[in-house]
Amino acid sequence: MTSMRVLILAGGLGTRLWPAIGSTPKAMAEVAGRPFLEHLLDRVTRDGFRRVCLLTGYGAEAIEGYFGTGHKRGLEIAYSQEPEPLGTGGAVRLAASRFPDERFVVMNGDSLFQLPLRSLIDAHLEKGALATLALAQAAEPGRYGGVETDADGQVCRFVEKGEPTAGGLVNAGIYVIEHSVLEEIPSGRAVSLEREVFPALVGEGLYAVPFEGPLVDIGVPRDLDALRTRADMVVATAGEPR
C-alpha cells in the first residue's frame, strides 16, 4: 500500500460524447455495466492506493453522489470542484493546493492504461524528476500527438497531432508530478498540463517511461461503442472489482 495521493481528472464536459451519453458526465459513461470511472478506481485500488481526490466540474453532484467517501471501496475519496472550467493544469493546481503532499499521481478520468504505478513512481524518484509521464504505444499515434525522449528518458520534444513521431509513443494520461511544479501553475485562468505546463518543463526535469499494454480511451462515441462491445478488455485492464 502506498500513501501517495492520486488526483483523477473527472470534470470534462465530454461534448463529443453527448450523442452517446446525453447529459451524463463523461467519466460516468457506462461500460460493462458500471461507470467508466469506477473501472479506473478499481485499477487504483488494485495497485495499493487508498487516498484519491476526484477533480470534478460538470456533473460534480452525480459523481460525488455515486462514489461518496469511498470507504466501502477501501478508499478515502476527497473532491475538488472547479468553480469554472480551469483546464487540466488549473484543475490539478486547485486540488493540490488543498494538500501538503510532496508529489502526486495524476490520471485522466477518461482513459485507462494498465501499468505498474509503482514502477512509474520509482523511475520518477530515481531521476529526481519534476514530472514523469507514462507513455503508451498507440495504434493511431497521430490522433494523440507523440512524445519523444533521449536515451536517458528525458522528454526532448512533443509532437503535434497528425505529425509523424519516432517510436509511435503517446502520452498515456498518467503522471507523477512534484507539488512545486503545480504551485507554479497560474491561478484564476484555464491552464493545460499537456499544452502549457509539460512543454515548459522540457529540458528542466521532465521524464517519460514507456509501458506495454492497451490504452483504453472513451474520447469519442466511436471509442465508447468499441469499448462497450469489448467490455472484457476494460475489466481486464482495470482488474476485477473488489
- CA separation for the pair 88, 92 (Å, rounded): 6
Hey, which bits of 150-229 come out as E strands? 155-159, 169-178, 206-210, 215-217
- CA separation for the pair 216, 131 (Å, rounded): 23
Which is the catalytic residue, given 26, 72, 127, 161? 161
- CA separation for the pair 193, 176 (Å, rounded): 12
Q: Which three cell numbers stand for residue 216?
A: 483504453
> CB under 8 Å, gap of 24 or more: what pairs does 213-216 form?
213/113, 213/114, 213/115, 213/136, 213/237, 214/113, 214/114, 215/111, 215/112, 215/113, 215/136, 215/138, 215/170, 215/172, 216/111, 216/112, 216/113
Catalytic status, residue 161: yes
Burial class (CB in 10 A: 0-12, 13-18, 19+), 140: exposed
**One-letter amino acid for residue 127 of the chain:** K
Q: What angle do CA 192, 197, 203 make, to 5 degrees?
A: 150
Report, as residue numbers or ranges, the catalytic residues.
161
